[in-house]
């Protein structure tokens, strides 16, 4: 099956089985290895990407539903964004395997709530498991990206 | 009118604080700390993990495993309907070296030959260029197994079983003894006698385990993968492949979390990948586990059961601690004796007590072997002791904080292992600080009031006081004989060469920072070399909270040696700029002088430890801690949630406070999971039944508010500027603190974790019946 | 090679289904369950796919004077954010908001949650308590059935061959009503429920219960209601309600199950407590 998508701003055509997972297409066909597989069942969020602006788990997306989709992966996020800077400044990444997915979820969260409360952050990121940080530095990073203020 | 209620969904506001106390001054440090050296590559998704490596002509691999909980493999039958010539097939007969995973003992086969001890043991390895073909092939192999008649999965059943896995079903039997427990029992005024259970716990690093092996044209077998201990992998490969070490190369890839889970098992996967690679004609072999397989077969935290008698006099002074501590080691010895040893040493807690007896045993069962997980035996025994402390305090009608205050160790006291504590003892300080910052007594009063009102919940506050020794136990560091190299280059760049791995904990940043501090250079002048066994010396495994403290100290010492060398041989003056440092390096290089220095481990003076009698100084330094949990329990459903959590620890020196904070927060949240949800369930052949992230439950952001972390710098640890190891410490305290809070809220004794609502409801109902 | 069929209209989908033998197509909408089960099954059949995600009709929410019609393909995130759903059917907004987490809610559909027929479906109790009905399309046109009759056995629905769930209809809750929803999961997000309870009481000016409707998920083999309890409560005032009779009714109406997530004991006890608690809110 031939599918046209916009990936990180670029029009692309992919030829693959229609029930291929977007995750595999991104990683194996397009070499976009920043999207990670943690569980393969939509539970951990390590494979999260933005599809038409919404955060979705790419391990649950069949290519057959992706025609004309606008997809943004971690590679498509600006490397000089406030979120990148605040994740770095707040030590929000430890082992880093959940981080790309967390960045995508945080991007979607901030586009819906530009000034999120802690509660909104906690609810908005609850589809992304992190085993290293205990989440504290991540809350801090998202708050800082939104407000530019360090909470200590 | 349309009234509407939803509960179980709202989140709680908690204070967002981190305070760092500088040596008694109490000032909050507000200095920008160096950023993580691996931060941006991880945030931008460019860091390369084992599954991300681009490979040409790759052979994918899979593992066929035993189905029964021990037994004998009579025959492996390959269905002739399938063309097996397309596959690379490896069985025990193909192992060129010794068919044993190199660890403490050679009891665990790399591949089952005939006899096996648990379900899920590797039997056949298959390689093929198409992953789908591997799936198909697995369904075309039939294995004739004669299962063991009576497998055992329970500690006490294993002890009394007729047919033993090993003699007595005991891998190790240790005794820590001080004073005379039996005699003191006769004089006791108040005591409790209880039995505690802790479950296994899955590390659940988000990156599953995996290795890539390739037999290169030059005859070198190269392994790349996710691991904590490259030299363990190297030793295992040498033994299993029979290749000499100069034909083996182990390279660590970016490691997506480990927590102990990638200490020993990477050796097994590496051997499997290597065996396939030897037959793969130079093609790379990729053996990366899917989540389910990773959860079913890799080692987890040892389950434990503890029989504990604790006695005190009416004044609340501990009179004896009598503990029978047993951990389930699973079907092979692996690391169990070492886990047990740490569990036994930490069992009596940070208390002064004249009469102590801790008997510890590691038991053989037909579970897959258990292994390392943050805390390494200590969380299990500390859980039992700390919960019992609260139960005894309740019996004495004494506040748990007051009871601890009376019994916590002070400088000059004799420790449970008979060591006289010098000035580095801050158990009391940590407790007082935790009580202060958590507003313990105010909260306690508020909760009492809350519980009297007709609310839908009851609340409780609980604490745990504990200490964690960092580094290998006793003479372990001496045997390790760790060595670190520092290589300066002509351009003024300095490389750290050591075998310790970055797995998320921040070692790369911390070690670079230690070197930069010692050399007085900016961090970007220092680089931690990739952990590649052909380049880096053996500085020991990345375990036991030892990297910053032990290896960091070596890095600091090597840095000072490098400076000395540059000063004596390269004309570097006592005060120098970055450029002058580079100039000196260049001069040395041009005059063909070598720019390599090395530092090796030297034990601290007074470090005497008797590993048979469990007496002396077990660890060069202990970090001291007091954790306080505030919980709320729903009266209808018995769901528990954490309202606030305070973690106070004395850690000597925080090399990088924010990295330490991240370690504490991460460990506390793993501890919260251990206390409340994480429960490895077993199927009827003793393999993890809840092998998916939908049914093995770890905390999400919705469950976890900010944690109040306080770092106290008062003591002098063995690390750089007095740093102590902190990696494992935060795992010890949360479970007992949370359980103590629940005990207080519900006024009932709890003797096991995880404290699921089902357990609380059962306890509440049985209490009601007995009343 | 598997085929991927993506009809634009319900009729087209029905005719595709009717032309092929049963189980020829794997139907997919949001895919949050199908993509997992498909992958986990060792011996996956290479079934063709019938993708309902391109049918605009299925994505519509229509609020009218009798209630609401929610297309089966409406996502849970659309539901939880819909102002009128929040206003008139708050339990549904709440149950959608506690199904999985954001990345799941953005994909998972209400129809999928029902047709997947998990006993733990988070939105099932609420629809039962609201007295929802289902609009089912087949070759002979569409039929309306009471949602309470939809789940016939463990993971089995009343859908016949070549039938599709197209919409969920929910009436407005009665003028004077009290409703409660509670999900008990092991953790606060991304949890499969171990008990899900919804209750909706219609009361009159004298605070007599005119009608009581319940929905229970995750406790028995299928999402179910509590007919005996509903019948008992009808026409009663709070003070006349006997806790023991309610409890007995619950025990009569549901057969709780043991599984990897919880015990039958806990499920029954918690359900009883939550139902009793719900009844207390009537006053």
Please report, rounded to a whole number, the percentage of residues in chain C having pLDDT higher than 90.
Answer: 93
Question: How far is Cα B219 from Cα A125, in angstroms, rounded to an integer?
Answer: 48
Does the pLDDT at position B32 exceed 70? no
Residue ranges of domains in chain B: 18-32+300-473+611-770, 54-149+209-288, 476-600
Query: What is the rounded average pLDDT of the residues B459-468?
Result: 98
CB contact under 8 A, B681 and C260: yes
**What does the pLDDT look like over B590-639, one tens digit per residue?**
999 999 999 999 988 777 899 999 999 999 999 999 999 999 999 999 99
Computed on alpha carbons and rounded to an integer, the radius of gyration of chain B in Å comes to: 27
Residue C242 in tokens: 């006997």
**What does the pLDDT look like over B495-530, one tens digit per residue?**
999 999 999 999 999 999 999 999 999 999 999 999
Round the average pLDDT of chain B to a whole number and report it. Answer: 94
User: What pLDDT is stored for residue B289 in this prediction?
Assistant: 98
Q: Does the B476-600 domain belong in CATH 1.20.1250.20?
A: no
Q: Is residue A102 part of a domain?
A: yes
CB contact under 8 A, C106 and A43: no
Contact present, B746 and B760 (Cβ < 8 Å): yes
The single residue listed with the structure tokens 């495993």 is B65
**What does the pLDDT look like over B42-88, one tens digit per residue?**
999 999 999 999 999 999 999 999 999 999 999 999 999 999 999 99
For chain A, the residue count is: 152
User: What pLDDT is stored for residue B15 in this prediction?
Assistant: 30
**What does the pLDDT look like over B299-346, one tens digit per residue?**
999 999 999 999 999 999 999 999 999 999 999 999 999 999 999 999
On chain B, the residues whose CB falls within 8 A of the CB of A87 are 39, 43
User: What pLDDT is stored for residue B767 in this prediction?
Assistant: 80
Does the pLDDT at position B262 exceed 50? yes
CB contact under 8 A, A35 and B255: no
**What does the pLDDT look like over C133-162, one tens digit per residue?**
999 999 999 999 999 999 999 999 999 999
Does the pLDDT at position B21 exceed 50? no
CB contact under 8 A, A125 and B707: no
Closest CA to B294 of B82, B51, B520, B604: B51
DSSP B413-440: PBPTTSPBP-S---HHHHHHHHHHHTTH
Task: Give me the helix-helix angle, B657-676 and A136-147, nearest 10°.
Answer: 120
Closest CA to B672 of B613, B729, B752, B755: B755
Does the pLDDT at position C74 exceed 80? yes
Tell me how far CA of residue A116 lies from CA of A72, A106, A119, B327, B616, in angstroms. 22, 10, 8, 46, 54
On chain B, the residues whose CB falls within 8 A of the CB of A36 are 45, 49, 51, 206-207, 256
Out of 3.90.1170.50, 3.30.450.20, 3.40.50.1820, 3.30.1490.20, select the CATH number for domain B54-149+209-288. Answer: 3.90.1170.50
**In terms of domains, do A66 and A21 share one?**
yes
Of C171, C205, C226, the residue at which a domain comes to its end is: C171
Confidence of residue C41 (pLDDT cuts 50, 70, 90): confident
**In terms of domains, do A110 and A90 share one?**
yes
- Nearest residue of chain A to residue B29 (CA atoms): A152
CB contact under 8 A, A91 and B705: no
- CB-based burial, A85-116: b 16+ in 10 Å, e otherwise: bbbbbbbbbbbbbbbbbbbbbbbbbbeeeeeb
Query: What is the rounded average pLDDT of the residues B183-202?
Result: 95
Tell me the nearest-neighbour CA distance from B123 into chain C, angstroms: 19
DSSP B696-744: S----GGG----EEEEE--S--SSGGG----SSHHHHSHHHHHHHHHHH
Q: Is residue A45 part of a domain?
A: yes
Question: How far is Cα B32 from Cα B335, in angstroms, rounded to an integer?
Answer: 40
**What does the pLDDT look like over B597-608, one tens digit per residue?**
999 999 887 778
CA atoms within 13 A on the CB side of B616: 16
Mutate to test the interface with C, among B695, B758, B768 (most CBs of C within 10 A): B758
B54-149+209-288 matches B18-32+300-473+611-770 in CATH topology: no
Does the pLDDT at position B31 exceed 60? no
**In terms of domains, do C65 and C161 share one?**
yes
Maximum CA extent, chain A? 51
CB within 8 A of B246, min separation 6: which ones? none
DSSP tally for chain A: helices H, then strands E: 5, 5
Computed on alpha carbons and rounded to an integer, the radius of gyration of chain A in Å comes to: 15
C258 class by beta-carbon count within 10 Å (0-12 exposed, 13-18 middle, 19+ buried): exposed
CB within 8 A of C146, min separation 6: which ones? C131, C133, C134
Does the pLDDT at position B4 exceed 50? no
Of A76, A94, A120, the residue at which a domain comes to its end is: A76
Query: What is the rounded average pLDDT of the residues A59-70?
Result: 97
**Regarding predicted confidence, which is higher, B4 or B67?**
B67
User: What pLDDT is stored for residue B494 in this prediction?
Assistant: 98
Q: Domain containing A134: what range?
A: 82-147
Contact present, A106 and A137 (Cβ < 8 Å): no
CATH number of the domain enclosing C108: 3.30.465.10
User: What pLDDT is stored for residue B768 in this prediction?
Assistant: 76
The single residue listed with the structure tokens 């840095």 is B559
**What does the pLDDT look like over B556-584, one tens digit per residue?**
999 999 999 999 999 999 999 999 999 99
**In terms of domains, do C103 and C124 share one?**
yes
Alpha helices in B299-377 (DSSP H): 336-346
Of A76, A100, A119, the residue at which a domain comes to its end is: A76
Question: How far is Cα C111 from Cα C146, in angstroms, rounded to an integer?
Answer: 15
SS3 B409: coil
**In terms of domains, do C134 and C84 share one?**
yes
Q: Is residue A122 part of a domain?
A: yes
**In terms of domains, do C254 and C190 share one?**
yes
CB contact under 8 A, B667 and A125: no
Contact present, A38 and A46 (Cβ < 8 Å): yes
Question: How far is Cα C100 from Cα C122, in angstroms, rounded to an integer?
Answer: 9
CB contact under 8 A, A94 and B662: yes
Q: Is residue A152 part of a domain?
A: no
How far is CA C255 from its chain centroid? 18
CB contact under 8 A, B40 and A84: yes
Query: What is the rounded average pLDDT of the residues B287-308?
Result: 98
Contact present, B483 and B583 (Cβ < 8 Å): no
**Across the A/B interface, how many CB contacts are shorter than 8 Å?**
188
Q: Domain tally for chain C?
A: 3
Q: B18-32+300-473+611-770 adopts what CATH topology?
A: Aldehyde Oxidoreductase; domain 4 (3.30.365)
Question: How far is Cα B140 from Cα B701, in angstroms, rounded to an integer?
Answer: 44
How far is CA C146 from its chain centroid? 12
User: What pLDDT is stored for residue B6 in this prediction?
Assistant: 34
The single residue listed with the structure tokens 């083996």 is B248
Full strand arrangement of the beta sheet holding B88-90: B88-90, B122-128, B59-65, B285-288, B210-215, B221-225, B248-252
User: What pLDDT is stored for residue B353 in this prediction?
Assistant: 97
Mutate to test the interface with B, among C204, C264, C266 (most CBs of B within 10 A): C266
Contact present, B655 and B741 (Cβ < 8 Å): no
Does the pLDDT at position C97 exceed 50? yes
Confidence of residue C278 (pLDDT cuts 50, 70, 90): very high
Does the pLDDT at position B19 exceed 90? no
Maximum CA extent, chain B? 91
Please report, rounded to a whole number, the percentage of residues in chain B having pLDDT higher than 70.
Answer: 96
For B191: left if phi > 0, alpha if psi spans -120 to 50, otherwise beta; the answer is beta
User: What's the DSSP call for residue B682?
Assistant: B
- Nearest residue of chain B to residue C270 (CA atoms): B637
β-partners of residue C178 are B3, C201
CATH number of the domain enclosing A123: 1.10.150.120
On chain A, the residues whose CB falls within 8 A of the CB of C38 are 19
**What does the pLDDT look like over B689-732, one tens digit per residue?**
999 999 999 999 999 999 999 999 999 999 999 999 999 999 99
Of B9, B11, B637, the CB nearest to C270: B637
C150 class by beta-carbon count within 10 Å (0-12 exposed, 13-18 middle, 19+ buried): buried
Contact present, C2 and C38 (Cβ < 8 Å): no
- What subunits touch chain A, counting only 3 or more CB pairs under 8 A? B, C
Does the pLDDT at position C45 exceed 70? no
- Nearest residue of chain B to residue A129 (CA atoms): B700
Residue B526 in tokens: 């220092």
Of A29, A53, A76, the residue at which a domain comes to its end is: A76
User: Which is it for strands B355-364 and B115-116: parallel, antiparallel or unpaired?
Assistant: unpaired
Query: What is the rounded average pLDDT of the residues B645-655?
Result: 96
Q: Domain containing C18: what range?
A: 4-51
Please report, rounded to a whole number, the percentage of residues in chain C having pLDDT higher than 70.
Answer: 99
Confidence of residue B11 (pLDDT cuts 50, 70, 90): very low
On chain C, the residues whose CB falls within 8 A of the CB of B695 are 192, 260-261
Contact present, B116 and B366 (Cβ < 8 Å): no
Query: What is the rounded average pLDDT of the residues B357-370?
Result: 98
Confidence of residue C43 (pLDDT cuts 50, 70, 90): low
**What does the pLDDT look like over B668-689, one tens digit per residue?**
999 999 999 999 999 999 999 9
Question: How far is Cα B363 from Cα B370, in angstroms, rounded to an integer?
Answer: 11
Question: How far is Cα C24 from Cα C113, in angstroms, rounded to an integer?
Answer: 21
Round the average pLDDT of chain C to a whole number and report it. Answer: 96
Confidence of residue B771 (pLDDT cuts 50, 70, 90): low
Residue B182 in tokens: 């039996």
Of C6, C51, C100, the CB nearest to A127: C100
Q: Does the interface predicted TM-score (ipTM) exceed 0.95?
A: yes
User: What pLDDT is stored for residue B18 in this prediction?
Assistant: 42
User: What's the DSSP call for residue A26?
Assistant: I
> Other CB atoms closer than 10 Å to residue A56's CB: what's the count?
29
The single residue listed with the structure tokens 């038409």 is A52
CATH number of the domain enclosing C38: 3.30.43
Does the pLDDT at position A152 exceed 50? no
**In terms of domains, do C69 and C46 share one?**
no
**In terms of domains, do A72 and A92 share one?**
no
**What does the pLDDT look like over A77-122, one tens digit per residue?**
999 999 999 999 999 999 999 999 999 999 999 999 999 999 999 9
Mutate to test the interface with A, among C102, C106, C112, C186 (most CBs of A within 10 A): C102
**In terms of domains, do A66 and A103 share one?**
no
Residue B404 in tokens: 């601890």
> What's the first-to-final CA gap in chain A, in angstroms?
51
**In terms of domains, do C93 and C114 share one?**
yes
Question: How far is Cα B224 from Cα B306, in angstroms, rounded to an integer?
Answer: 40
**In terms of domains, do C43 and C21 share one?**
yes
β-partners of residue C50 are C5, C27
CB contact under 8 A, A97 and B207: yes
SS3 C156: strand
CB contact under 8 A, A56 and C32: no
User: What pLDDT is stored for residue C39 in this prediction?
Assistant: 82
SS3 B372: coil
Does the pLDDT at position B12 exceed 90? no
Contact present, B467 and B623 (Cβ < 8 Å): yes
Of C28, C31, C103, the CB nearest to A45: C103
CATH number of the domain enclosing A7: 3.10.20.30
**In terms of domains, do A108 and A142 share one?**
yes
Q: Domain tally for chain A?
A: 2
Of C13, C30, C51, the residue at which a domain comes to its end is: C51
Contact present, B282 and B217 (Cβ < 8 Å): yes
B225 class by beta-carbon count within 10 Å (0-12 exposed, 13-18 middle, 19+ buried): buried
User: What pLDDT is stored for residue B443 in this prediction?
Assistant: 98
**In terms of domains, do A106 and A135 share one?**
yes
């Amino acid at each position: 099956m031939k599918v046209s998508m916009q990936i990180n701003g670029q029009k692309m055509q992919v030829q693959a089985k229609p029930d291929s997972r977007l995750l595999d297409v991104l990683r194996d066909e397009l070499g976009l290895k920043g999207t990670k597989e943690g569980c393969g069942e939509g539970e951990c969020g390590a494979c999260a990407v933005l599809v038409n602006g919404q955060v979705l788990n790419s391990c649950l997306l069949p290519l057959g539903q992706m025609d004309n989709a606008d997809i943004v992966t971690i590679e498509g996020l600006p490397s000089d964004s406030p979120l990148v800077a605040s994740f770095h400044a707040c030590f929000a990444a430890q082992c880093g395997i959940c981080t790309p997915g967390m960045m995508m979820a945080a991007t979607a969260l901030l586009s819906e709530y530009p000034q999120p409360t802690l509660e909104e952050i906690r609810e908005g990121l609850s589809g992304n498991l992190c085993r290293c940080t205990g989440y504290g530095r991540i809350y801090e990073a998202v708050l800082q990206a939104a407000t530019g203020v360090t909470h200590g | 009118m349309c009234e509407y209620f939803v509960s179980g969904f709202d989140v709680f506001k908690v204070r967002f604080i981190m305070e760092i106390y500088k040596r008694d001054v109490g000032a909050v440090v507000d200095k920008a700390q160096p950023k993580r050296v691996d931060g941006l590559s991880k945030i931008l998704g460019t860091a390369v993990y084992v599954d991300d490596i681009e490979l040409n002509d790759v052979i994918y691999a899979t593992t066929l495993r035993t189905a029964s909980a021990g037994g004998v493999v009579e025959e492996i039958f390959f269905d002739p309907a399938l063309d097996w010539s397309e596959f690379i097939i490896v069985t025990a007969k193909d192992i060129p070296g010794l068919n044993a995973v190199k660890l403490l003992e050679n009891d665990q086969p790399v591949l089952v030959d005939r006899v096996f001890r648990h379900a899920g043991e590797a039997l056949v390895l298959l390689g093929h260029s198409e992953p789908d073909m591997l799936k198909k092939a697995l369904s075309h192999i039939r294995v004739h197994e004669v299962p063991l008649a009576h497998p055992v999965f329970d500690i006490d059943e294993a002890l009394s079983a007729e047919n033993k896995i090993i003699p007595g079903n005991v891998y190790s039997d240790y005794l820590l003894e001080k004073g005379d427990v039996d005699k003191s029992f006769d004089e006791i005024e108040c005591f409790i006698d209880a039995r505690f259970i802790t479950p296994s716990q899955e590390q659940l690093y988000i990156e599953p385990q995996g290795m890539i092996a390739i037999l290169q044209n030059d005859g070198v077998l190269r392994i790349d993968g996710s691991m904590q201990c490259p030299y363990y992998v190297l030793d295992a490969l040498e033994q299993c492949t029979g290749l000499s070490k100069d034909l083996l190369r182990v390279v660590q890839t970016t490691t997506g979390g480990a927590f102990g889970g990638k200490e020993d098992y990477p050796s097994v996967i590496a051997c499997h990948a290597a065996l396939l690679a030897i037959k793969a004609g130079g093609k790379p072999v990729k053996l990366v586990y899917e989540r389910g397989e990773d959860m079913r077969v890799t080692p987890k935290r040892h389950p434990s059961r503890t029989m504990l008698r604790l006695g005190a006099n009416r004044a609340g002074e501990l009179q004896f601690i009598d503990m029978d501590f047993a951990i389930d080691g699973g079907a092979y010895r692996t690391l169990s004796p070492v886990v047990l040893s740490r569990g036994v040493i930490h069992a009596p807690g940070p208390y002064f007590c004249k009469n102590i007896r801790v008997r510890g045993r590691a038991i053989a069962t037909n579970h897959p072997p258990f292994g390392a997980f943050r805390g390494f035996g200590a969380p299990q025994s500390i859980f039992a002791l700390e919960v019992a402390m609260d139960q005894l305090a309740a019996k004495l009608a004494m506040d748990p904080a007051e009871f601890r205050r009376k019994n916590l160790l002070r400088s000059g006291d004799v420790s449970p292992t008979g060591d006289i504590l010098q000035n580095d003892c801050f158990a009391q300080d940590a407790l007082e600080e935790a009580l202060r910052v958590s507003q313990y007594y105010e909260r306690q009063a508020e909760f009492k009031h809350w519980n009297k009102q007709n609310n839908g919940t009851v609340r409780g506050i609980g604490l745990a006081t504990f200490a964690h020794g960092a580094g290998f136990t006793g003479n372990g560091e001496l045997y390790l004989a760790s060595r670190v190299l520092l290589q300066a280059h002509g351009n003024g760049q300095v490389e750290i060469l050591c075998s310790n791995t970055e797995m998320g904990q921040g070692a790369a940043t911390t070690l670079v920072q230690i070197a930069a501090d010692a050399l007085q250079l900016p961090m970007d002048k220092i680089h931690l070399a990739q952990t590649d066994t052909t380049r880096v010396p053996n500085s020991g495994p990345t375990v036991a909270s030892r990297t910053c403290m032990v290896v960091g100290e070596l890095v600091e010492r090597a840095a000072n040696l490098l400076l000395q060398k540059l000063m004596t041989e390269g004309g570097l003056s006592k005060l120098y700029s970055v450029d002058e440092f580079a100039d000196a390096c260049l001069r040395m290089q041009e005059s063909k002088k070598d720019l390599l220095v090395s530092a090796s481990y030297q034990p601290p003076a007074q470090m005497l430890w008797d590993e048979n009698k469990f007496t002396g100084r077990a660890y060069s330094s202990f970090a001291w801690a007091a954790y306080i949990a505030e919980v709320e329990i729903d009266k209808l459903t018995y769901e528990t949630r954490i309202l606030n959590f305070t973690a106070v620890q004395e850690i000597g020196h925080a090399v990088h406070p924010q990295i330490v904070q991240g370690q504490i927060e991460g460990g506390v949240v793993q501890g919260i999971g251990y206390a409340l949800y994480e429960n490895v369930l077993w199927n009827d052949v003793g393999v993890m039944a809840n092998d998916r992230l939908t049914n093995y439950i770890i905390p999400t952001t919705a469950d976890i508010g900010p944690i109040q972390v306080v770092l106290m710098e008062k003591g002098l640890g063995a690390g750089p500027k007095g740093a102590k190891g902190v990696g494992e410490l935060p795992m010890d305290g949360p479970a007992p603190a949370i359980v103590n809070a629940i005990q207080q809220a519900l006024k009932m004794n709890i003797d096991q974790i995880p404290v699921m609502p089902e357990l609380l409801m059962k306890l509440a109902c049985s209490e009601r019946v007995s009343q | 090679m598997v085929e991927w069929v993506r009809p634009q209209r319900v009729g087209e989908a029905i005719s595709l289904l009717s032309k092929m033998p049963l189980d020829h197509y794997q139907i997919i909408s949001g895919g949050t369950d199908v993509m997992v089960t498909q992958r986990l099954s060792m011996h996956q059949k290479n079934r063709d796919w019938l993708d309902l995600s391109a049918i605009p009709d299925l994505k519509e929410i229509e609020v009218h004077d009798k209630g609401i019609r929610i297309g089966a393909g409406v996502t849970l995130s659309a539901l939880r954010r819909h102002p009128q759903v929040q206003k008139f059917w708050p339990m549904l907004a709440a149950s959608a908001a506690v199904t999985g987490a954001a990345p799941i809610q953005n994909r998972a559909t209400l129809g999928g949650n029902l047709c997947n027929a998990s006993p733990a479906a988070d939105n099932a109790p609420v629809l039962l308590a609201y007295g929802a009905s289902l609009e089912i399309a087949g070759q002979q046109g569409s039929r309306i059935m009471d949602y309470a009759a939809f789940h016939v056995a463990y993971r089995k629905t009343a859908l016949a061959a070549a039938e599709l769930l197209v919409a969920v209809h929910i009436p407005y809750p009665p003028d004077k009503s009290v409703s409660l929803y509670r999900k008990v999961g092991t953790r606060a997000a991304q949890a499969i429920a171990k008990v899900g309870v919804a209750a909706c009481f219609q009361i009159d000016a004298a605070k007599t219960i005119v009608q009581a409707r319940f929905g229970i998920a995750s406790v028995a083999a299928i999402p179910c209601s509590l007919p005996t309890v509903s019948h008992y409560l009808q026409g009663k005032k709070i003070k006349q309600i006997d806790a023991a009779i309610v409890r007995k009714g619950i025990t009569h109406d549901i057969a709780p199950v043991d599984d990897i997530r919880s015990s039958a004991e806990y499920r029954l006890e918690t359900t009883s407590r939550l139902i009793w608690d719900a009844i207390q809110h009537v006053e």
